[in-house]
Structure 1
Amino acid sequence: LKLPIFYGISNANLLRGAGTMKADQKMGQGNYALAGHHMNNPNILFSPLAKAKVGELVYLTDGKKVYTYRLFKRKTINKDQIQVIDDIPNQKLLTLITCDPIPGVARTPLRILLQGQLQQIAKLNQQTRKLFE
């Protein structure tokens, strides 16, 4: 899954990549929360998250550094459980959210939630850049 990250969760942003869920959030700090669309095609946008597993690594870059998170939580939540994107004192988290499709239901109230904990921050160089090519 390789997507650009846009500021905000407008439909225009979510049709092109992931969107930040909070104003002024920064990679590697607090609870960095991203949302993305789950599509019928299992290989585009946030659809591959349906197959993500606890223990997998997620890599993000801001063009200067690479932030590595290890997934530790996967669960289904209701769309109204917005507290999952709140910062937690002394924790550096990544929260990924996408729709949890229900066959035959156009607008599902369920969401797939994946959370990871920051493992490492490294400078973006020739070797780490390969993760994003």
Structure 2
Amino acid sequence: MRTLWATIKYYKVQLGAIGVCLIALFVFFSYQSHKKAAMTSDLVEIVESGVKEAKKAKPSTSNTQDVVTGAETSSKTEVEEPSESSLEELPASEDAQPVIQEVGQLTEGERPTAESIKQAQENFDQVKDDILGTIQIPSIALEMAILQGDSFEKMLYGACTVLPKQKMGQGNYVLAAHNAGVDGLMFSSLPAVEVGETITIRDRANHTYTYSVKEKKHVDMTDTSMLNLTRKPTLTLITCDQATKTDGRIVVIAELV
């Protein structure tokens, strides 16, 4: 009988310890979930402020001097409207070589965090001169700024151009953005985009270009075929296949409609 009670007491202690551990784990994961939800909410709000900046018109200005008074005057240059020919298919040169431009920020090394993105977004004024417009993907509830250049820092603010002298609605318009591991943030949800869905990009003169997704693929980071010239006006989106260091890339290819 004494042995039986000792055994029961032993297992009661063990079960009690297990119960305490389970409660502690529940509290921990609940806290982490709440913390992530709060961070995501803050990020969505902050990114929206960047989108508002990207939607503002950006007229160029030049200062001239009045020949009579000598006073400087400022004149605005109207943004050129796209011509009909700018929306035509562009011929791809048969001997054109792929543009091999390393997107170093999507290959290896430092990885973005929700915190680093939040800190950058809070200082959006630092890159406002590099803003080209916005990209919107309704199927994943994404809208964010497009910026010129593809540095690690630039991609903390939005999607960045990869090829030199890119023009919206013409040729192969390639954009890269981080996978931050947070749904709806940057290109984290790009793998969820499906063929047939639409993507819209808009410049700061409010010219809109709508594309239909034709292909989604998983490639190695050494594959640069998606940077080739295209016969049809194409939009190519690139991101890492996971938030941690990886050699894999998700590529979404869409054509102008």
For structure 2, the 5+ residue unaligned runs are 1-141
- Of 177, 191, 204, 1:63 maps to 204
For structure 1, the 5+ residue unaligned runs are 120-133
Residues in 2 aligned to 1:80 and 1:101: alpha-carbon distance in whole angstroms = 16
Residues in 2 aligned to 1:114 and 1:81: alpha-carbon distance in whole angstroms = 14
Which portions of structure 1, spanning 4 or more consecutive aligned residues, are displaced by more than 6 angstroms? none
Q: How far is 1:101 from its partner?
A: 1.4
Residues in 1 aligned to 2:228 and 2:202: alpha-carbon distance in whole angstroms = 21
3-state SS of paired residue (2:191):
helix
Residues in 1 aligned to 2:181 and 2:255: alpha-carbon distance in whole angstroms = 29
3-state SS of paired residue (1:29):
coil
- Of 118, 128, 131, 2:256 maps to 118
3-state SS of paired residue (1:19):
strand
What is the aligned-residue identity percentage? 36
1:122 is matched with: none
Q: Does 1:76 align with 2:218?
A: yes
3-state SS of paired residue (1:8):
coil
More helix per residue: 2
- Aligned pairs (5 A) from 1:1-133: 1-64=142-205, 65-88=207-230, 90-101=231-242, 106-119=244-257
Q: Normalising to structure 1: TM-score of the pair?
A: 0.83
Q: How far is 1:83 from its partner?
A: 2.2
Partner AA of 1:95 in structure 2 = T
C-alpha RMSD of matched pairs (Å)? 1.1
Residues in 2 aligned to 1:47 and 1:68: alpha-carbon distance in whole angstroms = 21
Q: Normalising to structure 2: TM-score of the pair?
A: 0.44
Q: How far is 1:27 from its partner?
A: 0.5
Partner AA of 1:6 in structure 2 = L
Q: How far is 1:12 from its partner?
A: 1.1
Higher relative contact order (CA 8 A, sep 6+): 1
**Bigger Rg, which one:** 2
Count of aligned pairs: 115
Partner AA of 1:8 in structure 2 = G
